[in-house]
Amino acid sequence: MISKSALDYQPLPLPDRRIYDDKEMLARAQDFYEDVRTRHTVRHFSDRPVDRSIIEACIRAAGTAPSGANHQPWHFVAISNADLKHKIRLAAEEEERKFYDGGAGDEWIKALEPIGTDADKPHLDIAPWLIVIFAQRWGTFNDGTRYKHYYVPESVGIATGLLITALHHAGLSTLTHTPNPMKFLNGILNRPEAEKPVMILAVGHPAEDATVPAVAKIKKPLEEILSVFEDQE
């Protein structure tokens, strides 16, 4: 919890300063791209165990993400317990059946066809870890009073991106799963009213026969995702 007395502005010299020339910066950026382009969402996991320390290290990295007013409005629940994973699977599949039986609408179902998804979610049992990501609507000072969080979706989205990247960098595969609604996760995981579940992240090693949908390899080219305005020489 945060103490109200710790909220005064205190500027510090920039720590961890890194200085590279343009050539080295470009090389580092290209190396990162070559690594991250090998990240793939998978739906078929091995049951090969993953040590808890790896999960903790990746979540620690996610916790370095920038956030609105530095409130860090996130909480991560990591689950390897088989009974608890199965309980989550049953609840998630119940919501997914409603989704695929008409709750989603024809357009949304059609958009998902190239991905090959359905209401059956065996990965929630098989993947050695599930990480459930919660967004916190408000926080609590150490005296018990509430304070509002700001830019919560943006902050949690950045932290989640860092988490997925950290897990990939560690050599693991992930699958983002977003059953709707997800309120059942608060009850199963005993999380407070202030927290809203955002997604379930299945984490582990890909199965020997793991596949990816062909459409997932189609990425927009740079000219479609980037606009540049710069001074003319």
pLDDT in tens, 131-172: 999 999 998 888 888 999 999 999 999 999 999 999 999 999
Assigned token pair, 29: 């950026």
Q: How many CB atoms lie within 10 A of CB 110?
A: 10
Q: Is 93 helix (H, G, I), strand (E, B) or coil?
A: helix
Q: Give the pLDDT of residue 188.
A: 97
What residues contact 115, with CB distance under 8 A and at least 6 apart? Answer: 213, 215, 216
**Rounded Cα–Cα distance for residues 142 and 69 (Å):** 18
- Grade residue 114 by pLDDT with cuts at 50, 70 and 90: confident
pLDDT of 1 > 60? The answer is no
Q: What is the mean pLDDT of the chain?
A: 93
Q: Is 151 helix (H, G, I), strand (E, B) or coil?
A: coil
pLDDT digits (tens, 9 = 90+) for 14-29: 999 999 999 999 999 9
165 in Cβ contact with 37 (< 8 Å): no
DSSP letter string over 170-210?
A: HT-EEEEE--SS-THHHHHHT--TTEEEEEEEEEEPBPTT-
Which superfamily does 41-209 belong to? NADH Oxidase (3.40.109.10)
Q: Give the pLDDT of residue 7.
A: 73
Assigned token pair, 28: 């580092």
**Rounded Cα–Cα distance for residues 59 and 174 (Å):** 14
Q: Give the pLDDT of residue 110.
A: 83
